[in-house]
Structure 1
Amino acid sequence: MVRRSGISQCRRSSGRTADDRINSSFLVVRRLFSDRFDGSGRIIVERGSRCKDFALTVVYAVVTGGGTSGHVIPAIAICELLVEAGHPVSDIRYVGSRRGVEQELMRSFEVAAEYLPISGLQRSWTIRGMARNVLLPWRLLRSRILARGLLKLWSPGVVVSVGGYASEPMSRAALAAHVPLVCVSYDRIPGLATRRQAKRATISAVAFEGSSLPRSVLTGAPVREQLRGLDVSASRALSRSMLGISLDARMVVVMGGSLGSGVLNSMVADLLLEMAGTQSVVYHICGQRFARDSMPHIPAGVQYVRVGYEDRMADVYSALDVLVSRAGASSVAEIATVGVAAVLIPWPDAADGHQELNARWLTDAGAGILMDDAACVDGRAVAQVTQLLADSDRVSIMARTAYQLGAIHRSTALVKAIEGAAHATVARGTMDD
């Protein structure tokens, strides 16, 4: 069978006309990484990628970043915002790391994705960790060159970085090619990659007032579509039915962030004992790495549900009465977006203490209660949860206050900032509906 080349393909013969060539820099990429290309000049998709064919085409936006779900979920939220604003899903690309959680989380999402060999610095002194660090410069170089090739293939109007080590190759490629770069920062203290990229970015879209990032625009944090329009009160009965929870039971949800928390998981055993005989529910999102741990003792009168990962968060938020959670940026933004009462226990080893600062945005306004890891050990956290369950008026006030704070996250400010950067019309300041 003879295949005819289309307008976006190079001819399969050795001879080419002047207007039927690939850009020279792209040929460098193909020459260096011939295993990544097929005979027609198109990039071969990575294992697990949703993108079937990266033919030469112009796209509107490339969203980049990842490594952990704390970066990937905001990236997905940004893609959803762009689609809601009228940009076809075919005009959006996502670029992450093939060594993070991206491929698993992006599997059910429609946006075409590409995964680079970039990896983060390993802080463990194991042989495997040190071996990965030795290979890090090569992986970084390879990822940068591949990112430049992808940028030339897609010619995007804007690149949006959500931070993390996976954002570096494409962000640097955008800056080198003078493509508008938007850095999205949703922590009170931006991460290292975001701080570095923001120095030359077109704008920095930030979730909190008073950001130190240059050319900052207050846009709120990127939050998934299923949560931005959620009415937890109206959805409560249906969500409890979906989760198998009685409508009359008092429900506590404990979640320790994308990786789970051993400290919060240990507290659950004490919480179950304290709630014995109360006809309550403890819904425990323990983290995949803890999913095979031995089950705690479950006393009579308490329903206990444990999952390693939960993708039905709209149902979980609608069903719960009180949330116990770490204070990662995505968790804090979601709490405010949907409006729930939370006991926040920041991870003490977070860089620059940013989780505590994230939590204080809620707790200083009365929308949450701030506690530390020690409270999980000495029983104070359990006592606080049981007090809240007995005080429905206070829970309602906390939830309403959180919802009021989350108005900026439910707005279209972020997508407007991205569109403005693409058209080079964004001025420094606050963008809102």
Structure 2
Amino acid sequence: MAEPPAYPVGLRLTGRRVVVLGGGQVAQRRLPALIAAGADVLLVSPEATPSVEAMADAGEITWERRAYTSGDLADAWYALIATSDPDANAAASAEAERHRVWCVRSDDADAATAWTPATGHSEGVTVAVLTTDARGRDPRHTAAVRDAVVEGLRDGTLVAPHHRTRTPGVALVGGGPGDPDLITVRGRRLLAEADVVIADRLGPRDLLAELPPHVEVIDAAKIPYGRYMAQEAINNALIEHARQGRSVVRLKGGDPYVFGRGMEELQALAEAGIPCTVVPGISSSISVPGAAGIPVTHRGVAHEFTVVSGHVAPDDERSLVDWPALARLNGTLVILMGVDKIGRIAETLVAHGKSPDTPVALVQEGTTAAQRRVDATLATVAETVVAEDVKPPAVIVVGEVVAVGARTPASGA
């Protein structure tokens, strides 16, 4: 007859005595979770690993530097037996049985009264996996199941919508530079839980195809009232959908606060009393050069990098960029939204002291399947953009790091 499966239960150990026998690698792995659970941990062991000793020095556990003696488990609620002495382990296990203390044994799971599941965490949820067949316990398989579930919850491929605790609101999610794999784990999870997604054209479009059919996808570029009113219309759409009790994701390219007008949207939501979560994203200013094999800093070449917007020309009265100061810097200059203005930008940098031979790289559609890199110099970049038909979106990198990247391209770039 098959042995019945273990009964799963969550122990609430806050303020309750937990005894750990043995200060080796098993204790080192298990103690952090016991500490996080608020347990009053007593470690009994003549020796301990440096990490376990550090926990004792920090006051997270109490350490008695001695071997196990009868009576150590009398006041315990839970015990972890992990010494290298089989006789001591057996004696402690027998004491736990007498005192009705749930006991885990690292040396003999069959002799234990409790098993430690493979656990993982995701956004307030603890996933615990136990093998149901005692005769066929496979710790690696159990851990693999745990990892698959936790990863699915984190990246949104395993959708578990909230019901009781779900709060309507807006999440400003940075989608990264374009490759759907480069969105953050939290961003992907929130996207999977959304009722409404208001997306930029520069957001990772492939992610939209993964959304369930009931999710309403709104193209921010097609919200009415024209270019001048576009941002106000987007703000209004975020507020209106959130007020209808829906979970709204504003999916933006790169990072919401790097030339993404995320703060304007956050302020509008705050004024309307709408709760908002901001999820940072990988900015194209560093990720796209990296994908093209260009480090924005490199030892002995560049100790700084500056990111600027090129959406208005240097001689435009609306420009807030100190281009003459940038021309005097020795580091890397990364220009976003500057393809159609790069000729005038290059002229300004050269006029204020930058060498005309300074290398320039333009990386179009960075991190996507359509990525391409075009190299030039400040003297030739204007004509190169026209000759090579470089189109937005493209990240422009100015500086000697472009030459470094040309010598050692990134794998897959």
TM-score (norm 2): 0.24
The structure carrying a bigger strand percent of its residues is 2
The structure carrying a bigger helix percent of its residues is 1
Q: Rg bigger for which structure?
A: 2
* Structure with greater contact order relative to length (CA < 8 Å, sep ≥ 6): 1
TM-score (norm 1): 0.24
